[in-house]
Amino acid sequence: MIVRSAELAASADHPKGYPDDDLPQIAFAGRSNVGKSSLINALLGRRRLARTSNTPGRTQRIHFYRINDAFYFVDLPGYGFAKVPLEVKRQWGPMVRTYLEQGRGLVGVVQIVDLRHPPSREDGQLRDWLVEYRRRHWVVATKADKVKPTRWAAHLRTIAEALAIPREDEAGLLLPFSALKREGVDAVWEALLPWLGSDTEASHG
C-alpha cells in the first residue's frame, strides 16, 4: 500500500458529523491506551497522524482519516480506562454501537487487544457487538514486542478463547502486531485490502 495522502477529514460524536460520501470505511476499536492510534500510524507510515498520547481516554470522538482520497480509517474512542469521568464512560457505548450499526460505508472493523493480557469484559462486549451486527472484523493483538515470541502462540490462544474465536478460525481472525517494531504491518494490510475491493486506489501499490 502506498499512502499518498492521509488527512483528518472529520471528527464526530454523532452520525450527523460522519463523512457524507460513500468511500469505504475501516474502523479501529479497542481499550483506551491499547495502541489504536499507534497501529493506525504504523499502517499508514505516518509518525503522528492519529494522535497518540500517554493520557488514556483522550480520544472521545470518532476520528475519520481519509486515505488517498479512496477510503477512510476510523479511529473509534477507547473504552475501559478507570480514570475517565463517568459521564464520558456512559457516552462510549452508545457512540460506538451507533457507528457500528449505522456507519455508512463501514466495510470492516479491526478490534485491537493487548497481546500481554487476557481480554477484558469490554473487549468481549465489543466482539459480541461485531458478531451481532455482522461486521467483518479482524482481532489484532498489539504490543507484541512486550511478549517473548516463544509465548505468542499461547497468548493468542488465550485471547481467542476469551473472545470465543473457534480454533479453526483463529488463523483467519487474529494477528499479532507491534507498532514499535512494525511487526505485522504487512499481514494486517493483507487482511484489510480485500475489504476495500478491487476498484479502489487502495488495491494498487
Which residues of this chain interact with ligand GTP, rule CB under 6 A? 32-38, 52-54, 56-59, 78, 142-143, 145-146, 178-180
Residue 105 contact among ligand GTP, Mg ion, none, beta carbon within 5 to 8 Å by kind: none
Q: Which one of Mg ion, ligand GTP, none interacts with residue 111, CB within 5 to 8 A by kind?
A: none
Which positions from 57 through 116 interact with Mg ion, judged by CB under 5 A? 59
Q: Which does 145 bind (CB under 5 to 8 A by kind): Mg ion, ligand GTP, none?
A: ligand GTP
For cell 472484523, what's the residue?
Answer: 137
Asked if residues 39 and 94 have their Cβ atoms less than 8 Å apart, the reply is: no
56, interface contact from ligand GTP, Mg ion, none, CB < 5-8 Å by kind: ligand GTP
Planar angle of CA 17, 67, 177, nearest 5 degrees: 105
CB 50 to Mg ion: min, Å: 6
CA dist 16 → 11, 50, 99, 106, 168 (Å):
11, 22, 11, 15, 40
Q: Residue with C-alpha cell 499508514?
A: 44
- State the virtual CA torsion across 45, 28, 140, 204 in degrees, nearest 10: -50
CA–CA separation, 73 vs 29, rounded Å? 11
Within residues 14-43, the interface with Mg ion by CB under 5 A covers 36-37
CB-nearer residue toward ligand GTP: 180 or 187: 180
What sign does the CA torsion over 19, 21, 22, 25 have? Answer: negative
Q: Which is nearer to ligand GTP, 44 or 70 (CB)?
A: 44
142 contributes a contact to Mg ion by CB under 5 A = no
Task: Catalog residues that contact Mg ion under the rule CB under 5 A.
Answer: 36-37, 59
